[in-house]
Amino acid sequence: MLKSRTFLKKTRAGGVMKIVREHYLRDDIGCGASGCAACGSAHEGPVLEPQPLDRVSSLCPQPHYLLPDTNVLLHQIDVLEDPAIRNVIVLQTVLQEVRNRSAPVYKRIRDVTNNQEKHFYTFTNEHHRETYVEQLQGETSNDRNDRAIRVAAKWYNEHLKKMSAENQLRVIFITNDRKNKEKAIEEGIPAFTCEEYVKSLTANPELIDRLACLSEEGNEIDSGKIIFSEHLPLSKLQQGIKSGAYLQGTFRASRENYLEATVWVHGDTEDNKEIILQGLKNLNRAIHEDTVAVELLAKNQWVAPSSVVLLDEGQNEDDMEKEEERECILKTAVSEKMLKPTGRVVGIIRRNWRPYCGMLSKSGIKESRRHLFTPADKRIPRIRIETRQASTLEGQRIIVAIDGWPRNSRYPNGHFVKNLGEVGDKETETEVLLLEHDVPHQPFSQAVLSLLPKMPWSITEKDMKNREDLRHLCVCSVDPPGCTDIDDALHCRELENGNLEVGVHIADVSYFIRPGNALDQESARRGTTVYLCEKRIDMVPELLSSNLCSLRSNVDRLAFSCIWEMNHNAEILKTRFTKSVINSKASLTYAEAQMRIDSSTMNDSITTSLRGLNKLAKILKKGRIENGALTLSSPEVRFHMDSETHDPIDLQTKELRETNSMVEEFMLLANISVAKKIHEEFSEHALLRKHPAPPPSNYEILVKAAKSKNLEIKTDTAKALADSLDRADSLTFPYLNTLLRILATRCMMQAVYFCSGMDTDFHHYGLASPIYTHFTSPIRRYADIIVHRLLAVAVGADCTYPELTDKHKLAELCKNLNFRHKMAQYAQRASVAFHTQLFFKSKGIVSEEAYILFVRKNALVVLIPKYGLEGTVFFEEKDKPKPRLTYDDEIPSLKIEDTVFHIFDKVKVKIMLDSSNLQHQKIRMSLVEPQIPGISVPTDTSNMDISEPETKKKKLQK
């Protein structure tokens, strides 16, 4: 049956165009109930069970299916995902609405419908002759959709009566819309709210915890005292932004101070790019990463960023007087030039909530169902949840979702989603850090794995088309020990004309990952491989990453080669790019390659090639540094694991050799050469990488720190910075230069991917290169795959496709890649922090030399070179007398009693694992030297922190 709608549309040219929309209605769409004689085998995919007996409801004891409306799907997805909820009918009307309103929920519901065990059935009611409804005159699309859902629910109940009159199989309509529920009951449809139905499942009381509390009024605390000002409606916010009264930006909460946040203003304006918010009332219920509207305060109300470290550890959840006292601590006298634009949140434009990992802080009130949840991410406020399983969940890592934040509640309301496992357990903690940093880590789907080559795989004659055979060359790879995803290999040989030929050969991943297929989409979503201390989350399946793409020794592999002809002064005479086949003659570690270069007895072709590469690399590096490239520093650590328990037994800073630098120089050269080539060919849609120059204010801390040691650091240009860092040496303090370089690294901006057609500034500040990209690691970075595709088109080795030359799509891709790279870095740091805690848990208390990196108002941030470990020494602790502290931001310095501390001062600290707070176990540092009576702790560990086990006992007894 065919329905058609005709309407007229005005064209840009002013003409009128008639549009006819055809809508087909069918009789052969199945109801999804297996065993239904009326439908036969009309339904495909997962079907509903003929006798759903898995859940017993006190409201509906008979066997039944559930039919939820759009809002239930949107807000109660955590309940629907629970294994206890099965046999659910998802209408096409509902699915389309969900798709338009929330992409993440739509993806989750698609995953549930694809799970055969859940028996979720998607019913195409909009194309079924008996369930299709037309919009009536004067009826809103929302009311029409509600009516369509009721019509489908009624049809189902009548249809199922024919199938099983004796079994009384029914369909229950689940809606939280009061009017819709009343209309359904009037029409004879059994209907309940989600809460009513879940509470009727007496065999599954834990499901109640997963209910999202939607009516903010019903969940407001009893005191009724208004704490926060009302959020303005979206229409008023948009008017205010348009008129300039308000500014729109991204809310970024502080990790160190829960009473402070910044808003990064959207748009190109240089003025008020960053606005400071201080105090709970000015933060006004915004949560990290929300898009907010802020109102600037008058200049006489502007404040300076606080140097106080404040963590929300109060047990009394609504003690606002205490909060006001703490806010006063933030307001100290500062010079006028330190003041920054300050504002307050007037409304929320878009919430950016996600499920949060953390722990339950069990209420002290006996039998209480209301508890506070403390997220692992210190930027997220604590969340109030109701649960009956508090005793079970204590000491566990759990996931909680936020439902709302009423005006008279100190904390947002939320609900329990999932228990991850015991705190401190290695698997649980790894899962937490992957979830918290939004690292996609689920196993690759069958759709992705089905696109992998069938084994055994070999190179065919067809593959050799448009490729050079370079298997005769003496190619080798140099990587860290244990590396299985080998992206790159090198060769160097002398040509007959006396010049040198140098080749960088990169795994040809784009051969295996074709544009637009499921494998390509999944790789683009992941964006990068994430390396944790004991685990690697691959961007591409292992068959590619560790086998077919990995340039292992003595096997033929497909590559993309960048080959230069150079003279002995490392000057490039010719450059060419070609797809190739190589056969690596050796897979070496950095140490093995270094040993060959240094050996006086080894003179084989691999060693000769390495020596040639090393000699050229030194010249290339010298040239780069002369051009103003920065040599910065960051302490990298390596754990030595116990072979059985996999616990860290030693912790050392990584040793860098000449061969590390050798490989790096040629990778940089290849990336620069490829960047020039793809930009020549595709000036509007080359994927490039830039490193913006930091604003002068970023360098203030570096300049002040150097000045305190009588050194001058110039920051006008990268070259001036590089030269002054080279000159900043102290014979009496050799580690000072490394410290300066570590501090200089902290002043830098983040390097980012961008599309050449969407930007004009291509410069890479750190490398002092006018253009740069990523080409050399396609196994672990998706950006490199796109660059390979662009280069392949440029050299005629492959054909293009529409998305490759769409600069807007490329810009969107870059945005995701930048986010994924940033999250991967944070996840790696979190993994190092967790393993460092495990190391000190087994090592006990140690005292080590440290250097001050930053001074705060009430703390020192120190670096311990031996372990590459950074930590904070606090001087204001609960239940201890407060020392006399004088903070000077100009120098900067912190005077504790009569001892003054500056950046880079050498101190001795005691390091131990503080497990008193299970949620945030942390490395605790205390000052040992210089000795300050009442502040410093003794080096003797025998009498150290006797109260620590007591603290733990108290926690456990609660």
712's tokens: 């001058």
Mean pLDDT (whole number) for 794-819: 92
What pLDDT is attached to residue 887?
85
The verdict on residue 950 lying in a domain is: no
pTM of the model: 0.78
Give me the residues paired with residue 577 across strands.
Answer: 562
Query: How would DSSP label each residue in 864-900?
Result: ETTTTEEEEEES--TTSPPP-EEEETTTTEEEETTEE
The verdict on residue 517 lying in a domain is: no
What pLDDT is attached to residue 651?
62
pLDDT for 898-936, tens place per residue? Answer: 888 988 889 999 988 877 766 667 788 888 888 888 787
Lowest mean pLDDT segment, chosen from 22-26, 219-223, 367-371, 384-388 = 219-223
Whether the bond between 63 and the residue before it is cis, its omega within 30 degrees of 0, is no
Contact 713, 721 (CB under 8 A): yes
Looking at the fold, whether 701 and 685 belong to one and the same domain comes out as no
Question: Terminal CA-to-CA distance of the chain, rounded, Å?
Answer: 69
What pLDDT is attached to residue 218?
38
Q: How many Cβ atoms are within 10 Å of 403's Cβ, its own excluded?
A: 21
Of 579 and 208, more confident: 579
What pLDDT is attached to residue 773?
96
Of 526 and 897, more confident: 526
Looking at the fold, whether 199 and 281 belong to one and the same domain comes out as no
Distances in Å between the alpha carbon of 349 and those of 235, 270, 465, 690, 811? 10, 22, 54, 30, 23
What pLDDT is attached to residue 946?
31
The verdict on residue 253 lying in a domain is: yes
* Domain extent for 606: 446-509+532-692+751-826
User: CB neighbours of 112 closer than 8 A, spacing ≥ 6?
Assistant: 80, 81, 118, 120
| Token pair 């936020």 in the structure block, residue | 402
User: CB neighbours of 167 closer than 8 A, spacing ≥ 6?
Assistant: 51, 62, 63
Distances in Å between the alpha carbon of 705 and those of 128, 339, 855, 904, 927? 74, 21, 10, 7, 21
Looking at the fold, whether 130 and 163 belong to one and the same domain comes out as yes
- End of a domain among 159, 175, 210? 210
User: CB neighbours of 160 closer than 8 A, spacing ≥ 6?
Assistant: 31, 33, 36, 169, 170, 171
| Token pair 């150290």 in the structure block, residue | 944
Number of domains in the chain: 5
Of 718 and 577, more confident: 577
477's tokens: 């790879």
Looking at the fold, whether 63 and 119 belong to one and the same domain comes out as yes
Q: How, if at all, do strands 291-296 and 637-641 pair? A: unpaired
Distance in angstroms (rounded) separating the CA atoms of residues 237 and 234: 5
What pLDDT is attached to residue 269?
59
Q: Is residue 336's pLDDT more than 80?
A: no
Looking at the fold, whether 759 and 742 belong to one and the same domain comes out as no
Of 89 and 879, more confident: 89
| Polymer length of the chain | 958
The verdict on residue 28 lying in a domain is: no
Looking at the fold, whether 868 and 769 belong to one and the same domain comes out as no
706's tokens: 């150097």
Looking at the fold, whether 802 and 860 belong to one and the same domain comes out as no
Q: Is residue 438's pLDDT more than 80?
A: yes
Q: Where are the beta strands (DSSP E) in 218-290?
A: 247-253, 260-265, 274-278
Whether the bond between 355 and the residue before it is cis, its omega within 30 degrees of 0, is no
What pLDDT is attached to residue 881?
74
The verdict on residue 639 lying in a domain is: yes
What pLDDT is attached to residue 657?
78
Contact 257, 306 (CB under 8 A): yes
SS (H, E, C) 624-691: HHHCCCCCCCCCCEEEEECCCCCCEEEEEECCCCHHHHHHHHHHHHHHHHHHHHHHHHCCCCCEEEEE
Distance in angstroms (rounded) separating the CA atoms of residues 190 and 154: 9
491's tokens: 């060769």
Query: How would DSSP label each residue in 897-929?
Result: TTEEEETT-EEEEEEEEE-SSSTT-EEEEEEEE
Looking at the fold, whether 367 and 463 belong to one and the same domain comes out as no
Segment holding 769, helix H or strand E: none
- End of a domain among 797, 826, 855? 826
Residue 534's pLDDT band (boundaries 50, 70, 90)? confident
Looking at the fold, whether 296 and 389 belong to one and the same domain comes out as yes
The verdict on residue 466 lying in a domain is: yes
What pLDDT is attached to residue 250?
93
Q: Is residue 298's pLDDT more than 50?
A: yes
* Nearest partner of 926 among 900, 944, 947, judged by Cα: 944
Contact 673, 655 (CB under 8 A): no
Contact 689, 753 (CB under 8 A): yes
How many CA atoms lie within 13 Å of 31's alpha carbon, on the beta-carbon side? 28
Mean pLDDT (whole number) for 812-831: 92
> Which conformational region is residue 34 in: left (phi greater than 0), alpha (psi within -120 to 50 degrees), or beta?
beta
Looking at the fold, whether 478 and 555 belong to one and the same domain comes out as yes
3-class DSSP state for residue 516? coil
Looking at the fold, whether 262 and 378 belong to one and the same domain comes out as yes
Q: Is residue 861's pLDDT more than 60?
A: yes
Residue 956's pLDDT band (boundaries 50, 70, 90)? very low
Residue 333's pLDDT band (boundaries 50, 70, 90)? low
Whether the bond between 892 and the residue before it is cis, its omega within 30 degrees of 0, is yes
The verdict on residue 583 lying in a domain is: yes
Contact 710, 731 (CB under 8 A): no
- End of a domain among 386, 404, 420? 420
What pLDDT is attached to residue 635?
63
**Which CATH number covers residue 138?**
3.40.50.1010
Of 312 and 549, more confident: 549
Mean pLDDT (whole number) for 268-291: 84
Looking at the fold, whether 682 and 731 belong to one and the same domain comes out as no
Query: How high does pLDDT run on average in the chain?
Result: 85
**Which CATH number covers residue 902?**
2.40.50.140
Q: Is residue 945's pLDDT more than 60?
A: no
What pLDDT is attached to residue 958?
35
The verdict on residue 238 lying in a domain is: yes
200's tokens: 């009727």
Percent of the chain predicted with pLDDT > 70: 87
Contact 754, 787 (CB under 8 A): no
> Which conformational region is residue 957 in: left (phi greater than 0), alpha (psi within -120 to 50 degrees), or beta?
alpha
pLDDT for 613-654, tens place per residue? Answer: 999 999 999 999 888 888 876 666 666 665 565 566 666 666
